[in-house]
């Protein structure tokens, strides 16, 4: 597989992406120090969809409430194990259908930029699980100590395309114990989840706050994320910020106790929005961008 290495012209940051493996970001280093959680590695992502680095969750982020959904007046039946659909331990479809998808086409590549695309309307396997023809374009740029990821969805058919996708950046603060990582979040609305990880409909306001990660675990859902919102994890002399620059109105914060990683997941809609109709969409012939950036201080 072709591994693309990007280099920041003005700093020691480097990043690696693998278009042939689902356009996954596999590495972000600062002077040789890895800042992305490697977890089980790229091979496990290829073989079983086990996430690491910065994977795209597409066309839906996190899980759906069942194997059938109706969106834009189209009813879809999903079958876990077929057409890229994977199931969580409760049997719910999770993280979309593009895990390790090999059909990305590189359209631009330079020292510090990479752009690749997937034509959903040209792949019957993809349309079987998400029957909304469109062009998906992901562009990444490494400059000024920031890795910027811009995703554009262009509706190419006669049907509007639901926007329910996200990314799952696994961040780590090397050489600092997890318990000493400082987490910073903006003002958000917390979504109560049931024992399957689905929103119950109950919500509560959460003010902006800072807290040590300590021995806490997170797998929490939020919405009402404003454009420009900043999430951060810091420890020692290092600080990693995730800027939700535009298009990402929801997030999941994930930090399991058994791993030294924390995720601030940019999501265009909350968990199970595709089933519940609580999503935005892009109309035929139009495009919708979404952008986030990881800044290394």
- Across all residues in the chain, what is the average pLDDT? 97
**Gap between the Cα atoms of 240 and 90, Å rounded:** 33
Tokens 């058994």 sit at which residue?
258
Sign of the CA dihedral running 184, 187, 193, 197:
negative
**Gap between the Cα atoms of 196 and 200, Å rounded:** 10
Q: What is the pLDDT of residue 1?
A: 86
Residue 262 · residue 232 · CB < 8 Å: no
**Gap between the Cα atoms of 93 and 64, Å rounded:** 6
pTM above 0.85, yes or no: yes
**Gap between the Cα atoms of 156 and 135, Å rounded:** 7
Query: Which domains can be identified in the chain, with CATH numbers?
Result: 4-296 (2.70.98.10)
Q: What is the pLDDT of residues 29-82, one digit of tens each?
A: 999 999 999 999 999 999 999 999 999 999 999 999 999 999 999 999 999 999
Q: In the structure, how many helices (H) and strands (E) does the chain have? A: 3, 25
Q: How is 37-48 classified by DSSP, letter by letter?
A: --TT-HHHHHHH
**Gap between the Cα atoms of 242 and 297, Å rounded:** 11
**Gap between the Cα atoms of 22 and 118, Å rounded:** 10
Q: What is the pLDDT of residue 61?
A: 97
pLDDT band at residue 245 under the 50/70/90 scheme? very high
Q: What is the pLDDT of residues 124-163, one digit of tens each?
A: 999 999 999 999 999 999 999 999 999 999 999 999 999 9
Residue 12 · residue 31 · CB < 8 Å: yes
């Amino acid at each position: 597989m072709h591994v693309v290495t990007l280099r920041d012209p003005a700093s020691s940051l480097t990043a690696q992406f693998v278009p042939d493996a689902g356009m996954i970001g596999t590495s972000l280093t600062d002077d040789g120090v890895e800042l992305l959680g490697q977890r089980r590695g790229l091979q496990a992502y290829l073989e079983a969809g086990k996430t690491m680095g910065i994977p795209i969750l597409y066309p839906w982020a996190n899980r759906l409430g069942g194997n059938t959904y109706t969106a834009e007046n189209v009813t879809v039946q999903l079958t876990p194990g077929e057409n890229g659909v994977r199931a969580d331990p409760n049997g719910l479809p999770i993280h979309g259908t593009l895990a390790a998808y090999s059909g990305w086409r590189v359209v631009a590549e330079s020292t510090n930029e990479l752009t690749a695309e997937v034509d959903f309307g040209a792949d019957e396997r993809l349309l079987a699980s998400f029957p909304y023809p469109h062009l998906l374009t992901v562009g990444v740029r490494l400059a000024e100590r920031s890795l910027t990821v811009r995703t554009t969805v262009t509706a190419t058919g006669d049907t509007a395309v639901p926007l329910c996708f996200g990314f799952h950046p696994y961040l780590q603060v090397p050489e600092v114990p997890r318990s000493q990582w400082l987490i910073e979040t903006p003002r958000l609305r917390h979504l109560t989840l049931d024992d399957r990880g689905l929103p119950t409909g109950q919500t509560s306001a959460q003010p902006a706050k800072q807290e040590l990660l300590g021995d806490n675990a997170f797998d929490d859902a939020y919405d009402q994320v404003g454009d420009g919102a900043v999430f951060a994890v810091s420890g020692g002399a290092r600080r990693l910020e995730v800027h939700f620059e535009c298009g990402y109105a929801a997030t999941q914060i994930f930090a399991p106790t058994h791993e030294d990683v924390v995720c601030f997941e940019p999501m265009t809609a909350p968990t199970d929005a595709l089933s519940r109709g609580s999503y935005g969409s892009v109309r035929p012939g139009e495009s919708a961008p979404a952008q986030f950036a990881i800044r290394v201080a």
